[in-house]
Structure 1
Amino acid sequence: MSLSAVVLLCMFGTVTSEACAVPSAQQWLVTGLQTQLENGVKQQSSPSPSVVMALNLAGGRDSTATKRLIQDIKGIKDMTSGKVALYVLSLQSFCVDPKDVPTAGGRVNVVSALEEKTNEEIKHYYDTGTPKTTNYQLALDILALCVEKSPDAKNAAATLIKIIKGCQSKGCFDVDTAAMVALALSCVHDGMSKGSKMEGAITETLRVITAQILDSQQESGIIGNIYSTGLAMQALSVTTEFYPAGAWKCTKTIDEVLRKMYEGAFTNPEAGSQILPSLVGKTYLDVATLNCFSDPNITVHYTVINQLIGPYFNYSITVKVPKGSVLLAALEAAQHVNPTIFSFQTESTSWGPMVISIHGVNGSSDDKTYWQFLSGEKPLDQGVGSYKPTDNEHIVAKFSTY
């Protein structure tokens, strides 16, 4: 067995728990992905609404991203319906009312614009047999309208059900589209009275759609391919009543997604934005129920300094880790974001893990050198496996002598 295979086996092991959640030992991978997406958004003049929404679902909110997102609304007339739907969901995740968005040119009702574009999709279907854009975008429109409790969501859902019935045998729904359909119809279903004719039609359609998603489940746990798995996870997590218990091997899916994350599969922001919500236990249906004033993570500023032996260096990074995490999790998150600079090694001791090397620079008993950890300028009185940093704390790892 190769060394890399041994490392992966040691990191992830075999998933035996029935709980469908990221194991605490691999949580740093999720926070690393979140940090990666946040850094990307900060560099974009026009942030992606899907990336912004995913970050908000994960608890990280950037007010400057909100302002830039609102600036882009001036081009709403030229957007596809699906793009407008993403803006509705993203604004809602920021706790900005999409029906009344303050812009430089006046207040804009983005939901009304979405209703108009969705009606265009439906009219095009009845005129030509296909939506104006795609089935995926129509499903996304319905999801956003449903989250906003628009009465148009129900009528659009009825059209989507007709489309599904008309193309079941043609295989015209890939995993991504089927997952978005499941999310949209699940939302509409939850708001309907039991026993109605429409409720029965949605129930039957959801059984068909979830069966199709599950048919794409591979032995590894991946659903479709690695990039369709994120939406499929969201869909299956909210439709459990429509497929047999145990049909989705959720823990296998989580395990394989984490393996792929470790290998760098989600460097593309859009791909990362679809997988992040499921990894933090959220779906697009949660955007309207977020607590906009609570962040489950803390920010840690981390600096590594070597002024003892050449080549000298002084590098800094900002990462997020879940509240209550030990310092080791912040080091792992930094290493995941930039392994070239923030790689490190530890050694087990009776006091817990001890960092013996950072950026390829090793401590030495012969030279009496070691890596000292400080909070600002104050040395820590606990090891990296015990010390729990606070929000916005500045941790310094300094190559020192004793």
Structure 2
Amino acid sequence: MELLTLRLSLSTLCKKLISADDTEGSNTKLLLSLNKNLLRSLENQDGLPNPSVHLALRLSNHHNQAKETDYLNRLKNNLHDDIQISLTNSQAVTGLMALYSLALKSSCYDLNTITFLVNDKNETLLTHLKRQMEQEKDHIAFSHRPLTNYYQYSLGVLALCVSGIRVNHHVSHKLIKATENENFKHGETESVDTYAMAGMALQCVKDSGSYAHNAAELDTSLNKIKQKLLASRRSDGHIGNEFSTGLAVQALLAMGSEVGECATSMEAMRTAARSNTYHNPMAISQTLPALQGKSYLSVKTQDCRNEDDTLVLEPVGPVVVLPSETKVNMKVEVVTASGAAALYSVDVPKGSSLLEALELLERRNVGFT
């Protein structure tokens, strides 16, 4: 009898595994629980609305159309105004603009109707994002690093590509070269999140057929990113750490690697979710799409017709939070425009908000603001 070896792409394998897992009631309940936790986070009116949260809700299989529409309006008002202020002050907001456009696109919103006024000139969101990417590219040319960072640079490439905008091949090339030179680092450590975002961005560019400059080098970069992500897989299945696994799996799904490493990473995320590791809305927003077999690249083919509208939040009773004596060590790295880095450390009470932690750090460290 001949042995027939069937090689499935990672994308196909993952989707088959996800489909099988979804027949199990526990996994279905887990996904619904994460979805509801993310939806419930919309009730917090403090701070700016988070486009990543909206994006994850829109990529989900279950929806609460009324709450999602309300949050979309908050994005178009509050977040839009914040970006407008940044542009007026000539600040680089590449990543935020990119996420904003992806969030709008995920709601099938006409991006040509979103404009910003700068120097008495009214131009569309995507026009401004293209300009930001040109500035980022030029900054790399003379300083060997983007104005922001390669994570935001990758987000910019992805957002333009997903929106049907032809990405300047010089802009794509800078990302390809950064992959080749292994420039995706946070301090001395390689950034799994950045590799994942770069993988989704370059995969979109490849799928669009817009990078005719050198198709071989694009494929080489994508293969290198896949290998970097898989090499970062821990024995428990997480890629990098618990909070980077969601984006890493999204990237592997998008890139369609033939290495069957999906099942262990999926199970690792489910285990972490059941342990309430992803209690933060941002963490859930990057994990939920991956657990449902989606990636940010899925926004490109988003169809908002005939969507589910069955997600309902049950009333939650009052929760009494007792003060904690447990301390958590927080480290903050500050990178100046010259490239120099300074590392700060502070012990903060467990449960502190980021703002509270940063304010404590400022009080205890002269020079940190």
**TM-score, length of structure 1 as denominator length:** 0.65
Q: Equivalents in 1 of 2:116, 2:154: separation in Å?
A: 28
1:299 is paired with a residue of what secondary structure? coil
Which residue is equivalent to 2:204?
A: 187
- Report the aligned-residue RMSD: 2.9
The reply on whether 1:217 has 2:236 as its aligned counterpart is: no
For residues 68-95 of structure 1, what are the alpha-carbon distances to aligned partners after superposition, in whole Å with 9 as ceiling and x for unaligned?
A: 1001213324161011000010010111
Offset at residue 252 of structure 1 (A) = 1.4
Q: Equivalents in 1 of 2:190, 2:165: separation in Å?
A: 25
2:234 is paired with a residue of what secondary structure? coil
Which residue is equivalent to 1:235?
A: 251
| Unaligned stretches of 5+ residues in structure 2 | 1-14, 87-91, 321-369
What does residue range 97-112 of structure 1 map to in structure 2 within 5 Å? 97-101=110-114, 109-112=124-127
Q: Equivalents in 1 of 2:114, 2:252: separation in Å?
A: 32
What does residue range 264-343 of structure 1 map to in structure 2 within 5 Å? 264-296=276-308, 298-300=310-312, 302=314, 316=315
Structure number, greater radius of gyration: 1
Which residue is equivalent to 1:65?
A: 71
Which residue is equivalent to 2:55?
A: 53
For residues 328-380 of structure 1, what are the alpha-carbon distances to aligned partners after superposition, in whole Å with 9 as ceiling and x for unaligned?
A: xxxxxxxxxx8989xxxxxxxxxxxxxxxxxxxxxxxxxxxxxxxxxxxxxxx
Q: Is the 8 A contact 1:143 1:153 kept in 2?
A: no
Q: Equivalents in 2 of 1:252, 1:209: separation in Å?
A: 19
What does residue range 1-150 of structure 1 map to in structure 2 within 5 Å? 19-21=17-19, 22-23=21-22, 24-25=24-25, 26-44=27-45, 46-58=48-60, 59-60=62-63, 61=65, 62-71=68-77, 72-77=79-84, 78=86, 80-101=93-114, 109-150=124-165
Which residue is equivalent to 2:364?
A: none
For residues 275-328 of structure 1, what are the alpha-carbon distances to aligned partners after superposition, in whole Å with 9 as ceiling and x for unaligned?
A: 0111122111111322213334623465xxxxxxxxxxxxx35xxxxxxxxxxx
Q: Equivalents in 1 of 2:218, 2:111: separation in Å?
A: 27
Identity of aligned residues (%): 30
Which residue is equivalent to 1:356?
A: none
Offset at residue 197 of structure 1 (A) = 4.5
After superposition, the Cα gap between the structure-2 partners of 1:263 and 1:138, relative to the gap in structure 1 and judged at 3 Å, is same
Offset at residue 18 of structure 1 (A) = 6.3
Q: Equivalents in 1 of 2:164, 2:233: separation in Å?
A: 32
Q: Which amino acid aligns with 1:290?
A: Q
Greater relative contact order (Cα < 8 A, sep 6+): 2
Q: Is the 8 A contact 1:70 1:103 kept in 2?
A: no
Q: How many residues align?
A: 287
After superposition, the Cα gap between the structure-2 partners of 1:184 and 1:153, relative to the gap in structure 1 and judged at 3 Å, is farther
Q: Is the 8 A contact 2:18 2:293 kept in 1?
A: no
Offset at residue 31 of structure 1 (A) = 1.1
Q: Equivalents in 2 of 1:233, 1:148: separation in Å?
A: 22
After superposition, the Cα gap between the structure-2 partners of 1:29 and 1:270, relative to the gap in structure 1 and judged at 3 Å, is same
Q: Equivalents in 2 of 1:169, 1:70: separation in Å?
A: 32
After superposition, the Cα gap between the structure-2 partners of 1:339 and 1:35, relative to the gap in structure 1 and judged at 3 Å, is farther
Q: Which amino acid aligns with 1:130?
A: R
Q: Equivalents in 1 of 2:281, 2:50: separation in Å?
A: 9
Q: Equivalents in 1 of 2:117, 2:216: separation in Å?
A: 45
Which residue is equivalent to 2:259?
A: 245
After superposition, the Cα gap between the structure-2 partners of 1:239 and 1:102, relative to the gap in structure 1 and judged at 3 Å, is closer
Structure (1/2) with the larger helix percentage: 2
Q: Equivalents in 2 of 1:69, 1:162: separation in Å?
A: 34
Which 10-residue stretch deviates more, 145-154 or 162-171? Answer: 162-171
Q: Equivalents in 1 of 2:201, 2:178: separation in Å?
A: 14
Q: Is the 8 A contact 2:40 2:313 kept in 1?
A: no
For residues 113-137 of structure 1, what are the alpha-carbon distances to aligned partners after superposition, in whole Å with 9 as ceiling and x for unaligned?
A: 1111111111110111111110111
1:230 is paired with a residue of what secondary structure? helix
Q: Is the 8 A contact 2:167 2:205 kept in 1?
A: no
1:19 is paired with a residue of what secondary structure? helix
After superposition, the Cα gap between the structure-2 partners of 1:111 and 1:43, relative to the gap in structure 1 and judged at 3 Å, is same
2:17 is paired with a residue of what secondary structure? coil
**TM-score, length of structure 2 as denominator length:** 0.71
